[in-house]
A and B are shown apart, each in its own frame.
Chain A
Amino acid sequence: MNDDDLWIDAALDDELDAAASLAFQRRLENEPALKGAWDERRALRGALRARATYHPVPTGLAARLSEVLGVSTAVAATPDGGGARMDPGAGADADVDVDVDADVDADVDRSADAGVDFTWRANGDKIDVGSAAHDGGGMSQGDRRQRRRPGAGARSRFAAGGAWRPWMHGAIGAVAASLATLLVVDPAALRPGVAGGSAGLRAVSAAESAEAAEAVSAHTRALLVDHPIEVASSDQHTVRPWLSARLNFVPPVVDLAPQGYALLGARRDVLSGETSAALVYRHGAHVISVFVRPAPAGRPAGSDTPLVIRGFNVIQRTQGGMAFCLVSDLNPRELAALADLLAPPGGR
């Protein structure tokens, strides 16, 4: 997988923010190879959505569930017949089911559940099963399709996602803006072999440089689709338990705002096939991903040679049994300063 695929897929999935989307459109106009790959992906998407089978609920399953669960399943299938992708047989399912009001209201009616109607009861007077479900959204293919159209852009959709985005608000919002700018101004930095080249590559082990390249991809992915953070907090007492509940190790987490490196939060990511903690810091307008995981056996203490990969600076260091990998467009000197704070050379 290369970064072009990331761009194509994220654009296809409507997960690019407006600025990145614009940058991608410009690249499409100028790069025929990219355009070819994009066309193929779009053709694949179109074929999948038009013709892949959306398996309809088999006749009888809803009735069986109502028996087992002790609840009515009258609202259990797509009420509007399922649209183009449902097989014709799907409509037949609609003949079998139980009555919403009677059944949920009082169990006595369940004995009569064979052969009752499947009416969509949007206005049931006792319980608002129908309307509640409509409000909840996601009822049918049609509804879903509407909700997903470009009108609901990635940014606004995600902004509604609550916990995923608190970092967008307030002062930190500026960082998001700067990320967008970065993507517009320098999309080339995300292309392999363009911006950084191999100038910074020196004597580092193959494993380390492979991992550094993966770390850059992970950092890029996180920024590209604009969700670098799963748990947003500058409080290490919030971030650390969140990570330790999801990882089989406990990474060191420290806010370094007084030193100029504010902790924004953390996410999980995968490096070398293993789940890693990724702490996210901000320094000025720059976002830094710090990948932390237990040091692989036999890993040397770290060459500490800064690498430049596709325009990003990477510093790897092993300290106290943990392997650190810092990735950012921040300059190497200030990135090394953060590395020194997190994993002091010669410390411990």
Chain B
Amino acid sequence: MTDDSHQRFAAAVLPHLGAAYNLARWLVRDAHDAQDVVQDAMLRALRHFDGFRGGDPRPWLLAIVRNAAFAWLGARRPGEIQLAEHELDAALAEAMDGAPSDPEALAIGRADRRQIDAAIAALPIVFRETIVLRELEELPYRDIARITDVPIGTVMSRLSRARSLLARTLRPEVAGNPT
């Protein structure tokens, strides 16, 4: 790789180190492991930078980070990424009980940082990555679909499910609705 392409890499990709680390950290849920994943991803990104055809480098980099995180988990904690979507559906069916009432919406709005982080961390990984990319990175569906390599329709259904699960977790305990 030439000095010139090193410079272009530095200019295009490195500004997104913060996003790369945040995604890796949420996916592997460990600060030390996340640094390894980011380093691995950055090396891959540098290696494949010639294949980057311009546009927004953030989704391009995040796709590499996401793949690196899944590869890392696949080698060390395969159970975390082997959840089939239909199994997730079963868990979700429970989350869909009852329409929320106003007080519930208020309580969700008041959830503190610890509760919110714990609720996100507890999501199955495909829901977690979708919610992090949407709510923390604020990416549009189109970019999330590219990063997670699924159709946009799947992004939509995963987001919807992730939110239902989060709402259920953060909803206060009320009669007939154990949390």
Which chain A residues lie closer than 8 Å to B12 at the CB level? 132-133, 136
Give A48 to B42 CA distance when docked, in angstroms.
Answer: 28
Within 8 A of A (CB), among B13-40: 14-19, 21-22, 25-26, 31, 34-35, 38-39
Q: How many residues of A contact B (CB 8 A)?
A: 75
Binds B, one of A5-13, A22-30, A174-182, A195-203: A5-13
Contact A267 B166 (CB under 8 A): no
Contact B100 A40 (CB under 8 A): yes
Which chain A residues lie closer than 8 Å to B58 at the CB level? 138
Q: Does A39 contact B (CB under 8 A)?
A: yes
Encode contact with B along A171-212: 1 for CB under 8 Å, 0 otherwise: 000000000000000000000000000000000000000000
Within 8 A of A (CB), among B137-162: 137-138, 140-142, 150-154, 156-157, 159-161
Q: Does B11 contact A (CB under 8 A)?
A: yes
Which chain A residues lie closer than 8 Å to B104 at the CB level? 40
Q: Does A108 contact B (CB under 8 A)?
A: no
Instruction: For residue A154, give the distance in angstroms from its CB to the closest CB of chain B.
Output: 8
Which listed residue, A1, A72, A158, touches B157 by the CB 8 Å rule? Answer: A1
Give A277 to B5 CA distance when docked, in angstroms.
Answer: 38
Contact B102 A222 (CB under 8 A): no
Which chain A residues lie closer than 8 Å to B157 at the CB level? 1, 221
Instruction: For residue A147, give the distance in angstroms from its CB to the closest CB of chain B.
Output: 9
Which listed residue, A47, A54, A154, A270, touches B153 by the CB 8 Å rule? Answer: A270
Q: Does A245 contact B (CB under 8 A)?
A: no
Contact A270 B56 (CB under 8 A): no
Instruction: For residue A65, give the distance in angstroms from its CB to the closest CB of chain B.
Output: 6
Contact A273 B85, CB 8 Å, known A45-B135, A51-B113, A267-B151: yes
Give A58 to B24 CA distance when docked, in angstroms.
Answer: 12
Which listed residue, B7, B25, B112, B167, touches A55 by the CB 8 Å rule? Answer: B25
Contact A75 B11 (CB under 8 A): yes
Within 8 A of A (CB), among B159-178: 159-161, 163-164, 166-167, 170
Which listed residue, A65, A82, A267, touches B39 by the CB 8 Å rule? Answer: A65
Give A153 to B163 CA distance when docked, in angstroms.
Answer: 23
Q: Does B57 contact A (CB under 8 A)?
A: yes
Determine the residue in chain B with the shortest Cβ distance to A42.
Answer: B105
Q: Does B106 contact A (CB under 8 A)?
A: yes
Give A144 to B100 CA distance when docked, in angstroms.
Answer: 31
Contact A161 B142, CB 8 Å, known A44-B108, A48-B131, A270-B154: yes
- Dominant secondary structure of chain B at its interface with chain A: helix
Which chain B residues lie closer than 8 Å to A319 at the CB level? none
Contact B153 A269 (CB under 8 A): yes
Instruction: For residue B161, give the distance in angstroms from its CB to the closest CB of chain A.
Output: 7
Q: Does A338 contact B (CB under 8 A)?
A: no
Contact B156 A10 (CB under 8 A): yes
- Dominant secondary structure of chain A at its interface with chain B: helix
Contact A68 B42, CB 8 Å, known A36-B102, A58-B21, A129-B10: yes
Which chain A residues lie closer than 8 Å to B69 at the CB level? none
Contact A69 B116, CB 8 Å, known A13-B159, A15-B141, A57-B17: no
Which of B22, B46, B156 has most A Cβ within 10 Å? B156
Q: Does A294 contact B (CB under 8 A)?
A: no
Q: Does A252 contact B (CB under 8 A)?
A: no
Contact A73 B163 (CB under 8 A): no
Contact A157 B10 (CB under 8 A): no
Encode contact with B along A137-169: 1 for CB under 8 Å, 0 otherwise: 111000011001000001001100100100000
Q: Does A342 contact B (CB under 8 A)?
A: no
Within 8 A of A (CB), among B75-103: 84-86, 99-102
Which listed residue, A68, A71, A128, touches B14 by the CB 8 Å rule? Answer: A71
Contact A136 B153, CB 8 Å, known A39-B102, A40-B105, A161-B142: no
Which chain A residues lie closer than 8 Å to B43 at the CB level? 68-69
Encode contact with B along A260-293: 1 for CB under 8 Å, 0 otherwise: 0000000111100101000000000000000000
Contact A53 B117, CB 8 Å, known A10-B156, A65-B39: yes
Q: Does B72 contact A (CB under 8 A)?
A: no
Give A148 to B3 CA distance when docked, in angstroms.
Answer: 35
Q: Interface residues, chain B, CB within 8 Å of chain A?
A: 3, 6-7, 9-12, 14-19, 21-22, 25-26, 31, 34-35, 38-39, 42-43, 46, 56-58, 84-86, 99-102, 104-106, 108-113, 116-117, 120, 131, 134-138, 140-142, 150-154, 156-157, 159-161, 163-164, 166-167, 170
Listed A/B pairs (8) with beta-carbon separation below 8 Å: A47-B109, A48-B166, A51-B116, A57-B17, A133-B15, A136-B57, A144-B138, A230-B151
